[in-house]
Structure 1
Amino acid sequence: MNIEQFWVFHCGYSKIPRWMIVEGGGRQEIKLPFLAALAVHPEHGPILIDAPFGTEGPSNVGEFLGGVLRKIGVVFKDEWAVIPRIERLGFRASEVNHVLMTHMHFDHTGGMKSLGHASFHINRDEWVAATSMSAFAARTKGYVVEDYRALTSRVEKLDLSGATIEKGVDVFGDGSIEAVPLPGHSAGHTGWRIRLADREIFYVGDAAFSVGHITQNQELGIFPKIAADSKKIAGQTLEKLRWWHRDHPDVEILTSHDVDLGQACMNGPLGVHVDAG
């Protein structure tokens, strides 16, 4: 079965110098987006990938830290929250019954509480990592447990222990979406391979911040390095993605923070694929 539509939108951005994302990238200020995606399944309807920021924006980390983030460059508007974005695409939040999480860092989970009726598909290893610490310890690792603590009964924990970058787990049993383990940025970081009528999309989340990290062998800047749970494993995953791309050059790779993709959807959701039929 094929996904009928695939949209990408941002829920805000951070103004930072390019060298922080791409090694040797220079001092040019870029808008690092907080991206999410929406895939329309013929049977399951709209399926969200990640839920960055609800109505409180970056203040999901707390009012004080949220204020600090805004002062150092994070830009957010109410209309950029997950629910208004979904509604702009013509869907009601109540129609979103499945959310696929790349990982559980705060810039991907802020909108989860707004979709408490949905099933959240999360790598089991990621769920363990995100819930096994105190709230304070979790924040030092980039997790805000208040975003998802009350949603435990809605979590579908995926066992990806036998999955590889070549063969992931078929989430719905129809070949439309595969969960692929991409650890390193976080313990159970997951990519999502999407089958369309004419091609495939590989949404790799934060396994690379820029598509160029994979397709052009750009080196990671300081920010993706310090944000990684394991720099060693993150580097190994990036190398796997590079050789996978060389073997599958026709598969479109998307990341959660790609600057060019963020710019393309700065004025509204971008239709990466819309089936006219």
Structure 2
Amino acid sequence: MPRPYLLFTQHGWADTNQSMMALATALTAKDEAQIMAPCLDYAMTWLRIAPLIDQVETLATATLAQQPELPLRIVGHSMGGLIWLEVLNRHPDWWDRVDFLVLVASPVGGADLGRILDPLKVGLGVAADLGKDRRPLAGRIAAAINTLTIAGDIDGGSDGTITVESTRVPNAQFVYLPGLSHAAMRCHPQVIEHIQDFWAGKRLSEPLIPHPLVNRLRQIPGMTDAHLRDFARSTPWHTFTDGTSIHLWRSPFGIDHVFLASAQGDCLYAGYVGWLHGEDLRRSLDALRGEPELLEKPIL
């Protein structure tokens, strides 16, 4: 019989807690668990994320103080996962109490929709918060806490709201569920099954260790994760000593896309930069091509 635990489930942007409460109930049907599924103010989810983080942090702090002996499990959908990353960043002292962290359809690398709506990062509502790249933070947390990320895909690279690529987290296990939309993943039987398997200790995938060139591409100013489906439209630009290659494609709207392909021709990464960063992309790629020992040294 599993030991009792606290389960926090958190909904995201433009949502209520109904689906996450249903998810929590299904997940804990055979367990002795105390469920916390905060319902954030719907209107506030359209504004900024900071007050939402404060709200969840306050509730979690009180709950953990009341139940000092119980371990913690966390499941966040979409922005709910981002909220919990920020809460955990504020409380590394909680990390030892967290048995599992599950991020369902969370744009950890930054939501492309958020960056489209706020390209200059001036703080246009919650768009700027959703477009932020939290991958380094998530990677540090996943190195200390058992973490699973789950992504859906309905159009060859996204769940209709966020890209598959934006959900990947270094050091975390990863589950890919084709055919599931962003909204459907809040309480879908496949999602429930994979979370329960993860909690049971089953290895769903090897922890993600990104190719060093992926890290370098992500560091280019303005780089945003893109659909893998457009890889087929790209043309080779440069091949490195290990056989990996960079491919380029410009969309009909003049948006520059870059892809990294393995030696076997599989797409390892897809990204794009807006008009403001086209020159940054060209300079950065020329610099990469000019480093003959690029793959022989660690890239942080």
TM-score, with length taken from structure 1: 0.30
More contact order relative to length (CA 8 Å, sep ≥ 6): 1
* Structure number with higher helix proportion: 2
* Structure number with higher strand proportion: 1
Greater gyration radius: 2
TM-score, with length taken from structure 2: 0.28
